[in-house]
Amino acid sequence: MTQKILAAHAGLDSVKAGQLIMADLDLVLGNDVTSPVAINEFNKAGFDSIFDKEKVTMVMDHFAPNKDIKAAGQCKQCRDFCGKYDITNFFDVGDMGIEHALLPEKGLVAPGDCVIGADSHTCTYGALGAFSTGIGSTDMCAGMAKGKTWFKVPSAIKFNIVGKLPKFSAAKDVILHIIGMIGVDGALYKSMEFSGEGLVNLSMEDRLCMANMAIEAGAKNGIFAVDSVTLDYIKDKVNRDYKIFEADEDAEYDAEYTIDLSTIKPTVAFPHLPENTKTFDEIGDVVIDQVVIGSCTNGRIEDLRCAAEILNGKHIAKNVRCIVIPATQKVYMQAMKEGLLETFINAGCAVSTPTCGPCLGGHMGILAKGERAVATTNRNFVGRMGHPESEVYLASPYVAAASAVAGKIAQPSEI
Amino acid sequence: MKARGKVHKYGDNVDTDVIIPARYLNTADMQELAKHCMEDIDIDFAKNVQQGDIMVGEANFGCGSSREHAPAAIKASGISCVIAKTFARIFYRNAINIGLPIIECDEAAEKISAGDDVEIDFETGVITNHTKGESYQGQSFPEFLINIINSNGLLNSLK
C-alpha cells in the first residue's frame, strides 16, 4: 500500500523496496521546536518562496503557550515566517492543538496523501490511509521550498487484525503489545501495514493512536487500509479529491502477524523503552507520583471519555497529581459539553489547554528526581518527562485514570 | 576523507532524548546544545570530548524524536563520526543532511571499547582500531554522500 502511494507521487507505475525515488509532497509540517531550525536553513540557503502556501503547515504546540523567553522567540520566528509567506495553515495559541490530533481534525490529510513532518510522530496520519513520515528540519526546509523529497522505498510488515477488544482494553494496549513483541527496532526502516476483518472494530481514534506509535518500533510509517470507518471520518472534513490505494492480494511482506484483539490485555511499558511491556499478571505494586492523560497518542475525545468513565464520582489518590490535556480546542470544547472536564476537576485533576508540554519534558508537569508517572504518552526514555532519574510508565487512558485513583499502577477493572 | 579520534562508547537504543534532552530545545543554537549533549547518560561527555573524537553505539542508535538538534549537537560537540550496528532511520537521514558522517558496522560496534584510538576511511569504509591493532570493514560512502559531508550538509552541497 505504501509502495503504491510512493509510486504515484514519484510518477512511476510501480516501485520496489530499496528503490530511491523523488516524490511530490501533499503536506509539509513543522512545529515550534523543529521549524526554527528549518527556517534558519531556508534563509541561509537563500530560498525566497515556498512551493504552496496551502501545503505547508506549522503548529505551535511543543513549548506553547510559550514556556519561557527562548520558546517565545522560537514561536515568534515561526509566526513571522508564516506571515511573510502567507502560510494558510499556521496554528497559534488559541486555535492550535497537538499537531497530530489537529491536522486530521482539520481535514488537512486525506487517504493516499504523501506527507512529511519535522516531528517523528508524523506517522500518525497513516491511520487515514496516507503515507506519512517524520523527517528532520533540513528535509522540512527543502520540502517547503521545493514540494518534493527523496525516499528509500520501505519493505513492509503486515499486521492482520482480527476480533474485537475486550472491555477496558484499548488501542494503546494493542500497539504496546505489538512493540513489546517486535521490539523498538522491530520495524526499522520498514512500513507497518494494518488490515484485516477486525479493522472495522477499531475507530479512527484507535487507528490514530496505533499509527502514532509505529515510530516506536522504528518504522518509517504505519498505515491502515481505507474502509467505511475512514470514509465516515473524513466525509465532513476533507473537501478535495483524494485517491484510495489498496494493497495487492499478492503483495510481498517481510513478515506477517495476526493480532487477535480479543486477547489484548491492559498493558504497561516500563522504563526506559516502549518495548518493556508487561501485563498486570507481571506488575506488582508500583507507587506513582503523577499521571498524564493527553498527547498526540491519547489526547482525543474517546480517550478523555475512557478516563472520565473511570474517574467519574471518584477522587484521585492523595500524593498523586493528575494532569489532563485535551489534544485540541475542539476536543476541549467537546469534553466541556459532555461534562468530562467537570468529572476531571471534581476528581482532583488539573485540566490544561492543549500542549505537548510534559510528554517531552518541556513544561506543564515535569518530574523531580526519583518520581514516577503513568502517562498516556508515547515515550519513556531516560529523562523524557523531567529528571534523568525519574520514570515514565506508558499506558492507556483507562489504566492511567485507574492508576491516578489507586496511587499505584492499577487495572481499570480494580477501580 | 578520514576521521580519527578517541572513542566515546554507548550501548543499544541511544535515543534522541538522551542525546539532547528536550528541556534544552528552546534554542536552535547548536553550540549551546552541544554543552548538554549526552548529559542524561554521560554527565561528563561535554567536558571530556575533544575535537575529532568518535562516538560508538550499538543497535538502533538515535531512536525517538525527529529533532535534527540531536545529530547537530553531536557534531557541534566535536564528534567527527558515529559508528553503530544500526541507526534509527530519521536520525540516519538527519545526520547525513547536516554533514555528520555515520557508519553501520556490527564488528566495529562490538569490538571497539571506550577510549580506543580509531580511524575511519570514508572512501573505503575501513575502520582501523589503532589501540587494539584491528580493522573492521564498514560500508563505504558513495561520492554524493562524501560531497554532502565535505560541503557541511545537504543544503550547502546543492548550492
Question: pTM higher than 0.95, yes or no?
Answer: yes
Strands (E), A178-289: 191-195, 221-224, 255-260, 267-269, 277-279
Question: Taking residues A264-280, what's their average pLDDT?
Answer: 98
Position B141 confidence tier, pLDDT thresholds 50, 70, 90: confident
Q: Which residue of A has its CA nearest to B63?
A: A218
Q: B64 vs A379: CB contact, 8 Å cut-off?
A: yes
Task: Confirm if A288 and A373 have CB atoms less than 8 A apart.
Answer: yes
User: How large is the ipTM?
Assistant: 0.93
Q: Which residue of B has its CA nearest to A141?
A: B155
C-alpha B113/C-alpha B6 separation (Å) is 10
- Mean pLDDT score across all residues of chain A: 97
B97 and chain A in contact, CB less than 8 A: yes
Hey, which residues 1-60 in chain B have their CB within 8 Å of chain A? 13, 15, 17-18, 21-23, 25-28, 39-41, 59-60
Question: Taking residues A142-160, what's their average pLDDT?
Answer: 96
CA distance A248 to chain B (A): 26
Q: Which residue of B has its CA nearest to A362?
A: B23
Q: A120 vs B64: CB contact, 8 Å cut-off?
A: yes
Which run of H or E residues covers position A324? strand A321-324
Q: A33 vs B155: CB contact, 8 Å cut-off?
A: no
- pLDDT at position A226 is 98
Q: A138 vs B153: CB contact, 8 Å cut-off?
A: yes
pLDDT at B48 over 90: yes
CB-closest option in B17, B25, B94 to A381: B17
pLDDT at B159 over 80: no
- pLDDT at position B92 is 95
Query: Under the phi-then-psi rule, with left for phi > 0, alpha for psi from -120 to 50, and beta for the rest, what region is A82?
Result: alpha
B65 and chain A in contact, CB less than 8 A: yes
C-alpha A76/C-alpha A32 separation (Å) is 9
Task: Confirm if B42 and B10 have CB atoms less than 8 A apart.
Answer: yes
B63 and chain A in contact, CB less than 8 A: yes
Position B158 confidence tier, pLDDT thresholds 50, 70, 90: confident
C-alpha A350/C-alpha A386 separation (Å) is 18
Which residues of chain B are within 8 Å of residue A117 when distances are taken between CB atoms? 66
Question: Taking residues B82-88, what's their average pLDDT?
Answer: 97
Q: B155 vs A142: CB contact, 8 Å cut-off?
A: yes
Integer Rg of chain B from CA: 14
Q: Which residue of A has its CA nearest to B90?
A: A135
Grid cell listed for A52: 504552496
The rounded Cα A413 to chain-centroid distance in angstroms is: 26
C-alpha A212/C-alpha A222 separation (Å) is 8
What are the distances in angstroms from CA A75 to CA A120, A298, A330, A374? 19, 25, 22, 29
Q: B15 vs A381: CB contact, 8 Å cut-off?
A: yes
Position B87 confidence tier, pLDDT thresholds 50, 70, 90: very high
- pLDDT at position B144 is 82
Chosen from B66, B67, B97, B144 to mutate, greatest number of chain A CBs within 10 A? B66
Task: Confirm if B99 and B88 have CB atoms less than 8 A apart.
Answer: no
Question: Taking residues B66-87, what's their average pLDDT?
Answer: 97
Interval B29-42: pLDDT, tens? 999 999 999 999 99
Alpha helix stretches (DSSP H) within B5-105: 16-19, 30-34, 45-48, 69-76, 89-98
CB-closest option in A139, A185, A383 to B40: A383
Q: Which residue of B has its CA nearest to A213?
A: B64
Which residues of chain B are within 8 Å of residue A366 when distances are taken between CB atoms? 23
- pLDDT at position B148 is 87
Position A254 confidence tier, pLDDT thresholds 50, 70, 90: very high
Position B90 confidence tier, pLDDT thresholds 50, 70, 90: very high
Interval A292-328: pLDDT, tens? 999 999 999 999 999 999 999 999 999 999 999 999 9
Which residues of chain A are within 8 Å of residue B69 when distances are taken between CB atoms? 33, 37
- pLDDT at position A20 is 87
Q: A360 vs B22: CB contact, 8 Å cut-off?
A: yes
Position A397 confidence tier, pLDDT thresholds 50, 70, 90: very high
B78 and chain A in contact, CB less than 8 A: no
Which residues of chain A are within 8 Å of residue B20 when distances are taken between CB atoms? none
Measured N-to-C along each axis, helices A301-311 and A329-337 cross at an angle, to the nearest 10 degrees, of 40
Q: A361 vs B154: CB contact, 8 Å cut-off?
A: no
Q: Please report the sign of the dihedral spanned by the C-alpha atoms of residue A398, residue A404, residue A409, residue A412.
A: negative
pLDDT at B118 over 90: yes
Which residues of chain A are within 8 Å of residue B158 when distances are taken between CB atoms? 45
Q: Which residue of B has its CA nearest to A273?
A: B13
Position B146 confidence tier, pLDDT thresholds 50, 70, 90: confident
Phi, psi of A287 (to 5 degrees): -75, 140
Please name the residues in contact with A121: beta carbons below 8 A apart, sequence gap of 6 or more. A100, A134, A212, A215, A296, A297, A378
Sheet holding A114-117, edge to edge: A89-91, A56-59, A27-31, A114-117, A131-134
Which residues of chain B are within 8 Å of residue A122 when distances are taken between CB atoms? 66
Q: A138 vs B68: CB contact, 8 Å cut-off?
A: yes
More confident residue, B143 or A291: A291
pLDDT at A374 over 80: yes
CB-closest option in B90, B155, B158 to A120: B90
pLDDT at A415 over 90: no
pLDDT at B84 over 80: yes
How many CB pairs below 8 Å do chains A and B form together? 125
CA distance A117 to chain B (A): 9
CA distance A37 to chain B (A): 6
CA distance B132 to chain A (A): 30
Q: Which residue of A has its CA nearest to B25?
A: A33
- pLDDT at position B149 is 87
- pLDDT at position B142 is 84
Summarize chain A as % helix, strand, coil (round to 5).
35, 20, 45
- pLDDT at position B140 is 86
Question: Taking residues B56-67, what's their average pLDDT?
Answer: 97
- pLDDT at position A279 is 98
